[in-house]
Amino acid sequence: MRLTKAGGLAVACLLLQAVCPVDELVSSAAAQSGRSIQILERRGAGRDHPELALVPETGLSQVLVLRVL
């Protein structure tokens, strides 16, 4: 985030368990870099990686589109 100009976009691709909420993780990273962020969009895994109903681990992929302020 330190390398992104103010108003620039960043994409965070995360594969997380429920240990730490995604918003908390990216907010912490922004704070450590001295920046603020806006979450513009949330996405999950692509169509080639569908979530399986009986395998909760397959729903852990998250993609965030961020604006770095």
Q: What is the pLDDT of residues 6-62, one digit of tens each?
A: 999 999 988 776 556 778 889 999 999 999 999 999 988 888 888 888 987 787 888
In the predicted structure, residue 64 carries a pLDDT above the cut 60: yes
Where do runs of H (alpha helix) occur along the chain? 22-32
Comparing 68 with 46, the larger pLDDT belongs to 68
State residue 18's pLDDT score: 57
Alpha carbon 27 to its chain's center: 10
State residue 17's pLDDT score: 64
Give yes or no for a contact between 66 and 15, defined as CB atoms under 8 angstroms apart. Answer: no
State residue 19's pLDDT score: 59
Taking the CA of residue 65 as centre, how many other CA atoms within 13 Å lie in the half-sphere pointing to its CB?
A: 6
